[in-house]
Amino acid sequence: MDKFDKNLLHKACRVSIMNFIADSNHIQESLNLRDRVNMLEWSSSLDYNTSVSIVFNNGEMLDELGIRDFESKFGKFIKYGLAAIAGGIAGSRILMATPVGLAVGAVTYYLFRKFTDPCWQACLRKFGKSAERKVCKYECQVKAAQNIVKDVKNQIAKCGTTKNPLACEKKLNRELTKWSKKLEDKLVHLQQAKATLSAKTGGA
């Protein structure tokens, strides 16, 4: 994996927590709108150590030594694969996912951005502020989403080798649904951007 990106991991953890709050049926039923909004605002302002601890350590706060140890293992953690994260690995000392699957969501977002950010920067350098830039941007996002959908499908097939196959399949199927929808949305945006570009260039 490319160089560890602390700032991106911080954002990925906060996004995963916010998505969980927004999607949780229990939270929707238990809290009124104002309280849910307050929870989302709280999650968006979490510091790095707290967000990482919530997502990768079941909410138990990691001290500075624990954070550094996690960071040193993060690349290896991802290389185990999403199935291992979702279902656990017997005997592994790598921090595993929470029961609500926050780690799976954080890792997929992290990987998505690790691909799209440099791809997007290349679009900016190549096309500046021209209409082609938007097409290039969505091409980056479509390719990244396709890779994640493909990877999640492959990992679901490996759930049988994990400590908790049923939990693994449940978490990854939820992630597959989310990223399949995201891929569909990005494909629509790409087609719209191409149509706009074609109109501006006279179909050339």
Mean pLDDT of 106-131: 92
Measuring CA to CA, how many Å separate 184 from each of 72, 125, 150? Answer: 35, 27, 14
For residue range 57-90, list pLDDT tens digits in order: 878 899 999 999 989 888 877 777 788 778 764 3
∠ Cα 157 19 72 (to 5°): 65
pLDDT-derived band at 28 (thresholds 50, 70, 90) equals confident
Helix, strand, or coil here: 174? helix
* Whole-structure pTM value: 0.84
pLDDT higher than 90, residue 92 = no
| CA 136 – CA 142 distance, rounded (Å) | 10
For residue range 153-202, list pLDDT tens digits in order: 999 999 998 888 888 898 899 999 999 999 999 999 999 999 999 988 76
Structural contact between residues 106 and 55, judged by C-beta atoms closer than 8 angstroms: yes
Best CA proximity match to 164, nearest among 81, 85, 71: 85
Spatial CB neighbours of 121, under 8 Å, sequence gap ≥ 6:
none
